[in-house]
Amino acid sequence: MTNPSAATATNVSKIYGHGDSEVRALDNVSVQFETGKFTAIMGPSGSGKSTLMHCMAGLDEMTEGSVTIAEIDIASLKDKELTKLRRDKIGFVFQSFNLVPTLTADENIRLPLLLGNNKGNEEWIQKVINTVHLQDRLTHRPSELSGGQQQRVAVARALASEPAIIFADEPTGNLDSTTGNEILSFMRKAVDELGQTIVMVTHDPVSASYADRIVFLKDGKIAGELLQPTPELVLDYMKKLGH
């Protein structure tokens, strides 16, 4: 049985410039991300993988096509509604500069809830905090946390509001491999144990192998898919695609 779709892109194009200088960062991309699954988006630099994520997460405007998140068509939303959608339905983990330096770890984790003046589900939040092992770091500020701890706070923040989908953009890009693997395990756990939906952009085959499914992008187009990947399978597939 196929799970319902947490996020769907239909014929999405993103075009920069006009005429001769026109660049198609995304060219008629259609893709679905299933609820309760961990999906990775892979592709070489300039393949459009980050652009796809930005467009689907409502961070960037697409030129053509439509995107639905939790059955809401985001193209029709005004800035305020879009902001609320990001706050309530989407979780984010970025590569770096994930946290607000003036807030404590706890405040950073609850940030989307606090912004929405929403108490949230305390039981759930505690569970998330326990899952990423941050119980004794909650009162610290980002500058007092290691890079790995900062990313764990970011993951916890993404989970805190029980979003419909979490977008992670190279979440381990700035970390050493041990710490990176730890973060990926947490994300895996969030999907398996907490039933979350995660979409992760990465260029690293090892990171991608934590996912249930990999979507390959090349030159702004979907170039293929891989289910139940291992690092070796990913490398083979990438060679086949020619990078």
Partner 1 sequence: MLRIALKGILGRKARLVLTSLAVILGTSFLSGTAVFSATLNRTFDNLFSDVFRNVDSYVRSTQVIEADFGAEERQRIPAELIATIEAVPGVADVQGDIQAFARIIGKDGKPLGSEGAGPPTFGGVGQEFKGALWTISEGRFAAGPTEVALDEASAKAGKYNIGDTVKVVAQAGSRDFTLVGIASYGDVRSPGGATFALFDLATAQEFLAKPGFVDAILISGDGSVSDEELAQVISSAIPGSYKTETLTGAQITKETQDQIGTALSFFSILLSTFSYIALGVGSFVIYNVFSISAAQRQRENALLRAIGASKKQVTRALMIESVVVGLFGSTIGLFAGIGLSKGLSALLKAASIDLPSGDLVVPSSAIVNTIVVGLIVTVASAWLPARRAGRVPPLAAMRETAIEVVALGRRRTLFGLFLIALGAAAIIAVTSGASNKWLGLGILFVFSGTITLGPVIARPVALILGKPAQSLRGVTGTMARQNSARNPKRTSRTASPVLIGVALVTAVAALAASISSQIDGVFTKQFKGDFAISTNARGFGGLSPSLADDINTLPEVERATGIGLLTVKIDGKGQYLTTINPATVEGVYDIGLISGSYSDLTPETIFVSQKYAENNDAKLGDTIAVTLADAQVKTLSIAGIYEFDDIAGKYTVSRDLTKDTTVITFDLGIYIKIKSGVSETAARTALQVAVDKYGQGTLLSKREYIDSQSGQINQLLGLIYGLLFLSVIIAVVGIIITLLLSVFERQREIGLLRAVGMTKSQVRTTVRWESVITSLLGAVVGIVLGVGLGWVIVYALRDQGLSSFSAPVGTTVSILIMAFIIGVLAAVYPAWRATRVNLLSAITTA
Name the residues that contact partner 1, by CB under 8 A: 50, 54, 59-60, 79-80, 83-84, 86-88, 92, 94-103, 107, 111-112, 114-117, 157, 169, 173
> To the nearest whole angstrom, how small is the minimum distance from the Cβ of residue 192 to partner 1?
24
For residue 84, CA distances in Å to 117, 142, 149, 167, 213 come to: 12, 25, 27, 16, 29
Question: CB 212 → partner 1: shortest distance, Å?
Answer: 25
Q: Which residues of 195-211 are buried (b: 16+ CB within 10 A; e: fewer)?
A: ebbbbbbbbbbbbbbbb
Least distance (Å) from partner 1 to the CB of residue 1?
33
For residue 51, what is the enclosing H or E element? helix 49-56
Q: Which is nearer to partner 1, 109 or 234 (CB)?
A: 109
Residue 153's closest CA among 140, 170, 164? 140
Q: What is the edge-to-edge ordering of all strands in the sheet holding 198-201?
A: 90-93, 165-169, 198-201, 38-42, 213-218, 221-227
Sheet strand arrangement including 72-73: 23-34, 5-16, 64-69, 72-73
How do 213-218 and 38-42 pair as beta strands? parallel
Q: Which is nearer to partner 1, 90 or 234 (CB)?
A: 90
Query: Shortest gap between Cβ of 230 and partner 1 (angstroms)?
Result: 28
8 vs 95, beta carbon nearer partner 1:
95
Q: Are strands 165-169 and 198-201 parallel, antiparallel or unpaired?
A: parallel
The least CB distance from residue 168 to partner 1, in Å, is 12
Q: Which is nearer to partner 1, 125 or 234 (CB)?
A: 125
The tokens for 55 are: 């467009």
Least separation in angstroms between CB 83 and partner 1 = 5
SS3 8: strand
In the bound state with partner 1, the residue whose beta carbon lies nearer, of 57 and 234, is 57
113 versus 234: smaller Cβ distance to partner 1: 113
Residue 106 main-chain phi, psi, to 5 deg? -60, -45
